[in-house]
Copies of this chain bind each other. A is one copy, B any other.
Amino acid sequence: MANNYLKLEFPSLPENVGLARAVVAAFAAHLEFTLAEIEEIRVAVSEAVSNCVIHAYPDKAGVIQLELSIHADILSIQVKDFGKGIIDIEQAKQATFSTDPERMGLGLVFMESFMNHLQIQSIPLQGTTVVMKKHPERGLADAGFSRSS
């Protein structure tokens, strides 16, 4: 499988969350993911992009950059915003921690559960970068890391 990438940029409008899901699903189809794995990827991306829309840019739309790439059978997804930022990432990762009373604080939990790897970098008032990786479970033996569950 040749290495491939896709870089996207779009405004943080709610309707672009579904678009991001569709793009990532189409791109991920280049690897041999099962349908269930593609579903997991769609959820993880939906959470990451929704967070940009809701938390990074609560007042008006800002720029979201989504970078997808495939190297050695591993799908990498980077979601970057230039918004509000997260003060305490470890706290944000706790289930049920949310700065929004209407929300469940499950987004980061889903990203962590559904992907093999999750890394978050954030600087308050400058923005947040989320990097997630996943490889097809079938090809597990060949890849450089095992499933974190």
Contact A9 B6 (CB under 8 A): yes
A16 at the interface (CB under 8 A from B): yes
Chain B residues whose C-beta falls within 8 Å of the C-beta of A10 in the assembled complex = 4-7
- Say which size band chain A's interface belongs to: 10 to 19
Residues 1-41 of chain A, each 1 if its beta carbon lies under 8 Å from chain B, else 0: 01011111111010110110011001100100000000000
Contacts of A7 on B, CB cut-off 8 Å?
Answer: 7-10
Contacts of A26 in B (CB 8 A): 18-19, 22-23
Q: How many copies does the complex hold?
A: 2
Interface SS of chain A: helix, strand, loop or mixed? mixed
Bound CA span A8–B23, Å: 11
Asked if residues B23 and A4 are in contact (CB atoms below 8 Å), the reply is no
Closest 9 CB pairs of A and B: A22-B26, A7-B9, A6-B10, A23-B23, A19-B26, A8-B8, A4-B13, A19-B27, A15-B30
Interface of A with B (CB < 8 Å)? 2, 4-11, 13, 15-16, 18-19, 22-23, 26-27, 30
Known: A6-B9, A7-B8. 4 other contacts (CB 8 A): A4-B11, A6-B8, A18-B26, A23-B26
What are some 22 contacts across the A-B interface (CB < 8 A)? A2-B13, A4-B10, A4-B11, A4-B13, A4-B15, A4-B16, A5-B10, A5-B11, A6-B10, A6-B16, A6-B19, A7-B7, A7-B9, A7-B10, A15-B30, A19-B23, A19-B26, A22-B22, A22-B23, A22-B26, A23-B23, A23-B26
